[in-house]
Amino acid sequence: MSEPDDRPRLMTKQQAAAYCGVSAPTFTKWVLAGDMPGPFKSTRMYDRRAIDLVLDQAAGISQGAPPKEDALDKWRREKAEREARSESAFDRWEREEAVKAAASMTPYQAALTASGETSHEKWYRESQARKARKAERARAKEVSDAAKAKLTK
């Protein structure tokens, strides 16, 4: 049997941080990350036993019976299990719609979809490329004409 603890059960944030051997900002980060329990309801005081329980669990020390699961935790656990077992209804619908859409596409539409650009974007990109090729040909012709003019002089 352990000796009775004469320390108060509730501690301030600074006391709780010192109890854990860290600074107050580090303790706050742990609380915000969910690694440490938050303050006791309607106070700014932290429960020493709750901190001990979290530290014991992190160290792999069991404290008898596991904590009782409340309805919200049960729902979250079951939801995570369902999601791990199969894809969601939305993901399944999205995949089926993509298959249907791909089956009815022309090769041109399929290429546009794969490239991620709209037909207008593709037309604009191709027209800019045509303009650039035309300008390059015009520059090459000017250079060629200038060279011919020098030779004929």
pLDDT confidence bin for 130, thresholds 50/70/90: very high
Residue 40 per-residue DSSP state: P
How far, in Å, CA of 16 to CA of 138, rounded?
78
- pLDDT band of 58, cuts 50, 70, 90: confident
Strand ranges (E), the chain: 10-11, 46-47
Phi first, then psi, for residue 152 (nearest 5°) are -80, -15
Q: Which DSSP category does 25 fall into? A: H
> Exposed/middle/buried for 46, CB within 10 Å: 0-12, 13-18, 19+?
buried
Confidence of residue 138 (pLDDT cuts 50, 70, 90): very high
